[in-house]
Amino acid sequence: MGYVAVKGGTAAINESIKRLKYERLKKKEILDVKDIDGGMRGLIDQVMSESSLYSEELASTAIKQSEGNPEEAVFLLRAYRSTLPRKHYTRITSSGEMFVERRISASFKDIPGGQILGASYDYTHRLMDFDLIDEKRSDAVTWVEEFENEIIKTNDDTDLKNLPKVVDYLRKEGLIKNHPLNDEEPKDITKENLEFPTKRSERLQILTRGQTGAVTSLGYAALRAYGALHPTVGELRIGNLPLCIENPFDSEGSEDEYYIGDIKITEVECFMPTTVEKKRGQKEIEFEVGYGICYGQNETKAIAMSILDQCLEDKDKRYPTQDEEFVLLHIDCVESTGFISHLKLPHYVTFQSKLDSVRKTRKGGKEDEDKL
Amino acid sequence: MKINYNFAFFDEGSKREIRRASLKAVAIPGYQVPFASREMPIARGWGTGGLQLTLSLIGKNDTLKVIDQGSDESVNAVNIKKLIEKTTGVSVTDETDNASIIQSRHRIPEVPLRDNQILVLQVPIPEPLRAVEPSEYETKKLHAENEYSGAYLMLFEQIIKYGNMSTGADHPVSVHDRYVMAPSPIPRFDNPKMNYSKALILLGAGREKKIYAVPPYTKVQSLDFDDFPFEAESFEDKKCRLCGATGVFMDELADGKTGEVYYQCNDSSYCLSRLNNIAGHEAVKNGGI
């Protein structure tokens, strides 16, 4: 079926869709959603984070449908998300209650509670493991059983649900300004359009669902030359955070709440030294805190987010990374890929119109030259 | 978790929110009403603004027409139509006359619209001042202060540079003598069709999260100068190779073999109905039917 000029034709489109299905199935192997759920934790976390939808099962299905293309998977989940009514907002949660799996500080060696390395690629060599080609399920099961037995034997009395925060230590020392708690209800950016200047709650929402690559590159740009001084990771923690909603049958303001489950998150607090001017031109250095948080284990993104958060607080017009319109309007995965990809649509009418005026300007230009 | 989709895709709350923004847009002609644009199953920049408007408005008794680049058969039009059909079950048509809602990318149909029709336009860049002012915060102020010298200056600079206004599609218009509006990327040729249009025109920009409107019978004027009047694309001496129509927006095509340039109606449904009529007349003339 030919694809003639602008008219794709229903038949041609149907054939294209069939061809896509063929591409997914042609090797005659079916990927079980459970396989994705079990083995693609990194991709699932990234997709959930950019989709603002916390469901490993849905993310796995989207990854299967999109043949592992994260851009498409996020697209599918965001569109699905549009059909879900927002029934409840969770109560304000303190990340101090997180059940911690990994927690490191690049600022202090001896943080109270200690450094907990947890699972990380940071300490591995990036050498191809060719044994994985012949990995057997039975070996994997034995390994897991042995590993789980080992955990039970070790004895540690660290209270993982109640680890102190590094930032509190600096605050006590007076090295970080003690901001009053802002428990103002956040603006929901999926229900209200963004207006500039923005509130911090809006900025944090957009940063956290930003495209991993985009957030990382802008964070990198800020770190490299355009904005922030060298930040230090005060604390990076990964763990499960319990969420609660108000009792829906109870009157407002009641203490009663329902626990609805845990989400796994990555949280980063980074410190940036800034100069503050005191009385009579005296200058002092003080630390400011940048904050990053996202679904799943997404450490680079969370750190980049914390850098950008601080940049957007600073608002130094010299740097694009500190210009909130520049950063916030361009890091969304669905928006940027959508508009770029629309260039594949035919543009006959607009181009015909432009052609007409280009010709007219040429004619006009020539006549003007003749006049001279 | 695995629910079926709602009628017209969205939950009722979302549809109501979009309708509220549309009502505000109708009440303030040409003013860009911000709305919480949803993520859609088609890509941002492919008509999600128009689609959201259509889905929020459509009822079981509507008949829908979707145009892309003047054609009902083009890829994007077919896709959008399929999605709306799938989630609503409404009937679709190619004939402009039979449609109650017409969603379009780039064109206003050649057949004049009626007052019981709604035209939904898909808008990529709703801000008419974007070319002169990159900041959203600043353009909002300019609109509030009725400060449009930037738009005029842009046209003036084009005249100085090129001897003509060199806008392509999307030549800015003034609506109801108050707001300057981007008429979506419709060609200049279609701008005059908005002036005192009988049909309600709704414009939706999904990625930029704005809805605006031209209510029926509202003055819409393309920006220009006394000594440099607005000019639409000209197809004066051109004729459609298929149906012989003149005075409509034409596609410029080149014959693959001879390289000869020829013209054809851009509005494919208009061209088709003319062809059917001509065929009918000839059949009657020849004593057929």
Q: What is the mean pLDDT of residues A226-253?
A: 86
Residues B70 and B48 in one domain: yes
* Structural domain includes residue B65: yes
Count CB-CB contacts under 10 A for residue B78. 21
The yes-or-no verdict on residue A365 having pLDDT over 60 is no
Disruptive mutation site among B33, B39, B210 for chain A (greatest number of A CBs within 10 Å): B39
DSSP H or E segment with residue A73: helix A70-81
pLDDT band at A371 (very low <50, low <70, confident <90, very high): low
Provide the CATH number for the domain around residue B30: 3.40.50.11310
pLDDT band at A317 (very low <50, low <70, confident <90, very high): confident
Q: Give tens-digit pLDDT for A50-72.
A: 999 999 999 999 999 999 999 99
pLDDT of residue B181: 97
* Structural domain includes residue B119: yes
Q: What is the mean pLDDT of residues A132-144?
A: 94
Residues B33 and B122 in one domain: yes
Residues B70 and B212 in one domain: yes
Residue whose structure tokens are 């130094």: A316
- A15 touching B (Cβ < 8 Å): no
Q: Report the domain count for chain B.
A: 2
Q: What is the mean pLDDT of residues B3-17?
A: 88
* Structural domain includes residue B275: yes
pLDDT band at B168 (very low <50, low <70, confident <90, very high): confident
Residue among B14, B74, B165 minimizing CB distance to A7: B74
Q: Which residues of A touch B41 (CB under 8 A)?
A: 76, 79
pLDDT band at A2 (very low <50, low <70, confident <90, very high): very low
pLDDT band at A130 (very low <50, low <70, confident <90, very high): very high
Cβ separation of A346 and B74 shorter than 8 Å? yes
Residues B57 and B115 in one domain: yes
Starting at the edge strand found earlier in the chain, the sheet holding A283-295 runs A99-104, A232-246, A257-277, A283-295
pLDDT of residue A102: 95
CA–CA distance, A268 with A315 (Å, rounded to integer):
21
Cβ separation of B13 and A85 shorter than 8 Å? yes
Q: How close A62 gets to chain B, by Cα (Å)?
A: 13
Residues B41 and B104 in one domain: yes
* Structural domain includes residue B153: no
User: Which among B201, B222, B243 is the end of a domain?
Assistant: B222
Q: Give tens-digit pLDDT for A141-200.
A: 999 999 988 877 666 778 888 888 888 887 887 778 778 888 888 999 988 888 999 999
Residue among B36, B78, B252 minimizing CB distance to A193: B36
pLDDT of residue A372: 55
Residues B60 and B110 in one domain: yes
DSSP letter at A90?
B
Q: Which residues of B touch A5 (CB under 8 A)?
A: 253
The helix/strand/coil state of B9 is: strand
Cβ separation of A8 and B46 shorter than 8 Å? no
pLDDT of residue B162: 87
Q: Which residues of B touch A75 (CB under 8 A)?
A: 39, 43
- Token couple for B191: 């701008």
Q: What is the mean pLDDT of residues B40-46?
A: 88
Residues B120 and B263 in one domain: no
Residues B212 and B266 in one domain: no
Q: How close B56 gets to chain A, by Cα (Å)?
A: 13
**Residue A206 near residue A328 (C-beta atoms within 8 A):** yes
pLDDT of residue A368: 58
Residues B215 and B93 in one domain: yes
Disruptive mutation site among A190, A193, A329 for chain B (greatest number of B CBs within 10 Å): A193
Residues B56 and B117 in one domain: yes
pLDDT of residue B289: 44
Domain range spanning residue B189?
A: 12-128+172-222
Q: Give tens-digit pLDDT for B227-236.
A: 999 999 989 8
Residue among A83, A335, A368 minimizing CB distance to B11: A83
pLDDT of residue A60: 97
Residues B185 and B240 in one domain: no
Catalytic residue numbers of B? 30, 240, 243, 265, 271
- A68 touching B (Cβ < 8 Å): no
Q: CA triplet B198, B204, B210: central angle to 5 degrees?
A: 125
Better-predicted residue by pLDDT, A187 or A273: A187
Residues B289 and B176 in one domain: no
- Token couple for B279: 């065929």
**Residue A271 near residue A107 (C-beta atoms within 8 A):** yes
